[in-house]
Amino acid sequence: MKILKSIVYIALSSSLLLAAPQQGKKNKQLQNIIQTGKKSSLLLLKTLGSNMKKNMKAGGPMQALDFCSQEAYTLTEQVNKKLPQGVTVKRISSKYRNPANQPQGNEQEVLSSLKKLQSLHVILPKQIVQKVNNHTYKYYKPLIIKKKVCLKCHGDIKNVALKHAINERYPTDMAKHYKMGDLRGAIVVTIDKSVK
C-alpha cells in the first residue's frame, strides 16, 4: 500500500510540476529525465512495433512469434547501443513470456501498484519517475493492451498450432489471457546521471 501511495503522489506531483512554470535545478532535472525516458521508450516501441507489424502482416501470429522469440531481445540491445551513456531501456511484465522481461528489484511493486490503480478505475499516468538514488532514476511507461491483434498471442489463444509453439518455446509462459485495456507491463528506462 505504501508504494501505491508513492505512485499516486509521484503521478500527482509530476502532473503538477508539468502544469506549473518550471523553475529551479530540480524541476529542470526532472524535465530532462522525463524527456530522456520518453525518447528512449518511444525508440524501443517504434523499433519493436514496426518489426512486429511487418512480421504479423507477412506471416500472421506464427511469424510474429518467431520474431519475438528470435529477434526482440537483440533489437532491444541494438536500441540500447543507440542511447546516451548511462541510459538503458527494457520491457517488464508481471506475467512475462520471456524470463528476460521479469521485473527486477522493486519493479514488481511498481507494476502491482499500477495494476491496483487500474482495478480501482484510476486512469494510469503516462509515465512515472522513480528516484533510485542521488544519481539514478527509473522512468516507467505503462503498457496497455490497446490493439486486438495483441490478443492473438496474448489473449485466449484459439490457434492450436500457435498455442503449442508458444508452450514449446516458453514453457513457463504467463503472458496470456489478457483482455483489451489490461495492463501488459511497462517500458523501463534507467537513467544513471553519474555516467558521462
Residues 174-184 have pLDDT tens digits of 999 999 999 99
Distance CA(153)–CA(64), nearest Å, equals 9
Name the H helices within 71-127.
72-82, 107-119
Answer whether residue 118 shows pLDDT above 70.
Answer: yes
pLDDT at 22 over 50: no
Q: Residue 23 has what pLDDT?
A: 57
Average pLDDT in the 138-167 region?
A: 95
Q: C-alpha distances in angstroms, 160 versus 9, 166, 178?
A: 45, 10, 17
Residue identified by cell 505512485 is 7
First to last CA, the chain: 36
Task: Calculate Rg over the CA atoms of the chain.
Answer: 18
Running DSSP on this structure, what letter comes out for residue 178? -
